[in-house]
């Protein structure tokens, strides 16, 4: 749930918003819990990697509205989880944070530096984890009711059996080193440092280092969270997927197909100046039809059906949470009041909208 690194939502954490002005003003409230403009801007800064200053006023306004809408939904979902008494305990939160540190190789000092880099306190991060675990539990509670019948699996298979044939191709893992400043723990900055890093990694791999461990520690790509695994690439998609998705020449696919499971490539540079080392972790040499007697195939189809239903169900849960909440969006209101200049406006003060009548902004703990 933290694949977006340290994305923070600290709705309701500020008690000093009344009369503070600027970023301490409320952008919105959800059942009286304030979402501050500084929290909206913090999320935008983290999503854009510090490049938000390059946005035009109109782009900034649009980005704020979108970010705020997501924070409103998140707060409404968290409050719904509180109503249903499915908020995680302290042990669950501590266990998750500890696992988070271990998976990323963070010492306590490195974790503190990462918090500082992402402009948040440890308490803010803990509250974010608490909310996300609560929301996950809310989704999971509804998803336990989902079931897939055998006839549904058979219907999907019988509609197009060839669709489920195994195609020739390779299963791949990737280590990516990006010369751009992207906030990774061991961020290589600049072309020279990136090239040196990738060559050091290749030397370590040649000396027997575990590819998955290196990927988790050093890869500057989302696949690091899956130990570098980027999935199965059919041979038929070499010419399209490699250039479009990875920025690598299509000819790389032919090289990969001559390799055996366990082999790794030399460092490869893509069209965006990033370095890759690819590992073939599996290989399929020929097409093979599968029948419904294949347990793995049945599970694939079942998982596909469940994924579609979960997506719809999650949308319904979000809609219900928002429908049942009292939401006041001061930022949107202010923009509507000033449609020709909203790019530079701050939200109207909660004190001037009547929101302050509910008293001080409650903290998450105070709502229990």
Query: Cα–Cα distance between 37 and 334 in angstroms, integer?
Result: 13
CB-based contacts of 177: which residues, under 8 Å, 6+ apart?
A: 188, 194, 197, 198, 201, 218, 219, 220, 274, 275
Query: Cα–Cα distance between 96 and 59 in angstroms, integer?
Result: 36
pLDDT, residue 14, reads 40
CB-based contacts of 262: which residues, under 8 Å, 6+ apart?
A: 279, 280, 281
Answering whether pTM is above 0.75, one says no
Backbone dihedral angles phi then psi of residue 96, each to the nearest 5 degrees: -65, -45
pLDDT, residue 22, reads 55
pLDDT, residue 175, reads 97
Query: Cα–Cα distance between 364 and 125 in angstroms, integer?
Result: 13
pLDDT, residue 3, reads 36
pLDDT, residue 356, reads 33
Query: Which residues of the chain fall below pLDDT 70?
Result: 1-23, 49-50, 104-105, 182-185, 342-368
pLDDT, residue 105, reads 67
Structure confidence by residue, pLDDT tens digits, 66-110 = 999 999 999 999 999 999 999 999 999 999 999 888 776 678 888
**CB half-sphere exposure, 357, CA atoms < 13 A:** 4
């Amino acid at each position: 749930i933290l694949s977006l690194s340290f994305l923070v939502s600290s709705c309701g954490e500020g008690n000093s918003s009344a009369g503070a002005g600027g970023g301490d003003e409320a952008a919105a409230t959800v059942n009286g819990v304030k979402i501050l403009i500084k929290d909206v801007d913090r999320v935008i800064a983290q999503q854009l990697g510090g490049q938000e200053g390059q946005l035009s006023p109109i782009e900034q306004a649009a980005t704020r509205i979108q970010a705020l809408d997501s924070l409103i939904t998140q707060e409404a979902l968290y409050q719904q989880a509180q109503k249903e008494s499915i908020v995680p305990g302290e042990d669950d939160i501590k266990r998750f944070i500890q696992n988070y540190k271990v998976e990323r190789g963070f010492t306590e000092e490195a974790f503190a530096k990462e918090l500082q880099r992402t402009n948040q306190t440890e308490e803010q991060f803990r509250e974010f984890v608490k909310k996300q675990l609560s929301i996950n539990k809310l989704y999971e509670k509804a998803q336990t009711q989902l079931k897939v019948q055998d006839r549904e699996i058979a219907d999907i298979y019988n509609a197009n059996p060839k669709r489920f044939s195994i195609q020739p191709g390779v299963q791949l893992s990737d280590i990516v080193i990006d010369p751009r400043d992207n906030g990774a723990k061991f961020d290589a900055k600049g072309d020279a440092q990136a090239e040196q890093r990738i060559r050091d990694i290749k030397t370590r791999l040649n000396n027997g280092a575990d590819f998955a461990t290196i990927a988790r520690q050093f890869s500057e790509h989302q696949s690091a969270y899956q130990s570098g695994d980027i999935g199965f690439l059919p041979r038929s998609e070499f010419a399209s997927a490699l250039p479009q998705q990875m920025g690598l020449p299509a000819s790389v696919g032919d090289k990969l197909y001559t390799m055996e499971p366990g082999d790794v490539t030399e460092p490869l540079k893509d069209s965006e100046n990033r370095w890759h080392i690819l590992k073939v972790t599996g290989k399929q040499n020929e097409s093979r039809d599968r029948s419904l007697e294949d347990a793995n195939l049945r599970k694939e189809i079942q998982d596909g059906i469940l994924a579609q239903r979960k997506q719809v169900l999650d949308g319904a849960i979000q809609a219900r949470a928002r429908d049942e909440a009292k939401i006041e969006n001061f930022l949107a209101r202010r923009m509507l009041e000033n449609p020709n200049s909203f790019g530079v406006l701050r939200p109207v003060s909660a004190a001037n909208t009547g929101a302050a009548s509910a008293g001080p902004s409650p903290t998450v703990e105070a709502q229990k």
